[in-house]
Amino acid sequence: MNSVMITGCSSGFGHAIACAFLDRGWRVIATMRTPRADLFPASENLLVLPLDVTDEDSIGRAVAAAGQIDVLVNNAGIGWLNALEGTSDDVIRTIFETNTFGTMAMTREVLAQFRAQGSGVVINVSSSTALAPMDLLSVYGASKAAVNHFTETLALELAPFGIRARLVVPGHAPETPFGTTAKLRIKDAGGFPEAYQDHVTKVFTKLEQSSDGLMTTVEDVVDAVWQAASDPDSPIRILAGADTKAIVG
């Protein structure tokens, strides 16, 4: 039985990916900061573990407890939308610690096992903002752009060992709580700088008027992750969502 370890499974993409792999008969190691098995259907193939991707000891304990891992899905991430002047050093470090450094640390932790197996897949969930810059997303986009380059270069580095690295790139997904939690985080940090209020209003108005109804669904991301996990011939970069595909053209 194949095993997949997924980070950030309490909601959104991570939760949906875990449930989809369970439905397809995989052993699923679902991780989150505060483990809650009640979020998932009861299954003997499910293992729920605590994991903080910004904590080296937590990463080590979770990977050791997981046992056999065939696929790692680095999904855990935090959102942020604000001007650089409204983004403190602490916020910048927090975003990169989770979105970028956490992805790198999780990947490094499983590589010895993958090399010993002579196989394994690392799937990193990025964002369309890393492909097409969007206003007020300079910090968040930078954290995801780093993941893009990391993954695409890692694919070359790991290929001699029979290990695949894949990048799943979703767009805007209103179904998930990602945007809501980002807004709360921004409010807690003091909101948008006063000098940028008019610009922020124009940006949000433009986004609402130019969306054309294109968006990313949870199913789009689940399908992309499944392709990355199950198809050895999948491209390194897999676009998820009509909006992402429209951006790239």
Residue 213, judged by CB atoms within 10 A of its CB (0-12, 13-18, 19+), counts as exposed
Tokens of 134: 């969007």
* CB burial string 143-163: b at 16+ within 10 A, e below: bbbbbbebbeebbeebeeeeb
Q: Judging by DSSP bridges, how do beta strands 237-240 and 46-50 pair with one another?
A: unpaired
Return the active site residues: 140
Write the burial class of residue 18 (CB in 10 Å: 0-12 exposed, 13-18 middle, 19+ buried): buried
Residue pointed to by tokens 């989770």 = 98
Give dist(CA 49, CA 35) in Å, integer.
6
